[in-house]
Amino acid sequence: MAYGIGAGGILGIALETVSGTYVAPSKYVPFNSESLVWQQETNFRRAIRNSPDVTYAVPGNVHVEGDVEMDAFDDILPYFMYASRMDVVKTGSTPNYTYTGTPNANAVPAKTMSLTVVRNGVAFGYTGATVGSFTFGIDDGTLTYVASLMANDEATQSVPTPTWPTTTPFGMGQYSIEIPTATPVTDTDTFEFQVEDNAEPQFRLKSTGRGANFIKLGEREVTLSVERDFQSRTDFDAFKALTSQTITLTATKGANNSITILLPVAIKDTYEVSLSGQGDLVRGAIEYQCLVGPSTAAYTLTCKSQENIV
């Protein structure tokens, strides 16, 4: 029997006042795909009792995890920034706000999110969601954002009535890539920036359900991958010498609608030079490891938007 009414899906998000306590959506997200699943660790016991069979199924820990892939919207990104392992500073006034995020060393984020997912009319609600890692990329000219989420548990919810945002994604003709910063380059055709905070669910002995108490964040890895035209050995020799660069990517639709990624200390980790055939361009596929500096964070993420998050 098939179960489902209507077509498509809904993703609603809200920052939680109390971590792990479900909040109805305050923002709705147009998304490309999601893989959120509720996972339980059932403990199947095989006691010695004159039988070779499994005899007990004991409830185990549960948590939620999965990815949400979307186009990068400047009015949606700040919600995910607050639920990431970063300090977010909001400046500006109506109607223009700036959210500046810098990574910190805290074990948990300052805020968690409630997620409401409706799949063809069937509603699912998840609490205590934390961004364990995230990736920015450019897909067919569109700036994309993938959040790898981990959450405490599932909560009771009903199907909401969404109010969809009217903002549009960033596209071709709206990018500025500077390698190093203040030196715009126009020979880059791939860009992928990833922050991995190695999230892990934390379980404790308790009498208030089987969900994770919170999500712990571990060691951080910040990487950037680009592919560029190869015009001289100067950049390759800098790779051999472990020379750092400051890199900036800005996607902008105007002075008050933009996303900027700043990497103060980026060191080339790998540098692959290829020539695939006669008459082809020489290409350089480069991966950077992004380090903290004496007075700088590994990255800074700045989002300018009309979204006012209280």
For the chain, what are the domain ranges? 9-40+59-305
In one-letter notation, the amino acid at residue 258 is S
* Residue 252: per-residue pLDDT: 97
Confidence of residue 53 (pLDDT cuts 50, 70, 90): very high
* Residue 3: per-residue pLDDT: 53
- 116-167 tens-digit pLDDT: 999 999 999 999 999 999 999 999 999 999 999 999 999 988 999 999 999 9
* Residue 2: per-residue pLDDT: 53
Average pLDDT over residues 229-241: 89
pLDDT at 279 over 80: no
Question: Is-contact 75 85, C-beta < 8 A?
Answer: no
CA 76 to chain centre: 12
* Residue 247: per-residue pLDDT: 97
> What is the dihedral angle through the alpha carbons of 169, 171, 176, 177, rounded to the nearest 10 degrees?
100
Q: Kindly calculate the radius of gyration of the chain based on its CA atoms and give it in whole angstroms.
A: 22
Average pLDDT over residues 184-209: 95
Percent of the residues in the chain that have a pLDDT greater than 90, as a whole number: 89
Provide the β-strand partners of residue 290. Answer: 266
Nearest to 77 by CA among 105, 97, 56, 58: 97
User: Residues 158, 159, 164, 168: is their CA dihedral positive or negative?
Assistant: positive
Confidence of residue 250 (pLDDT cuts 50, 70, 90): very high
Question: Is-contact 113 16, C-beta < 8 A?
Answer: yes
Q: What's this model's pTM, rounded to 2 decimal places?
A: 0.93
Strands 283-290 and 300-305 come out as unpaired
Average pLDDT over residues 24-53: 94
- 284-301 tens-digit pLDDT: 999 999 999 889 999 999
Q: Which two tokens stand for residue 264?
A: 């103060």
* Residue 1: per-residue pLDDT: 46
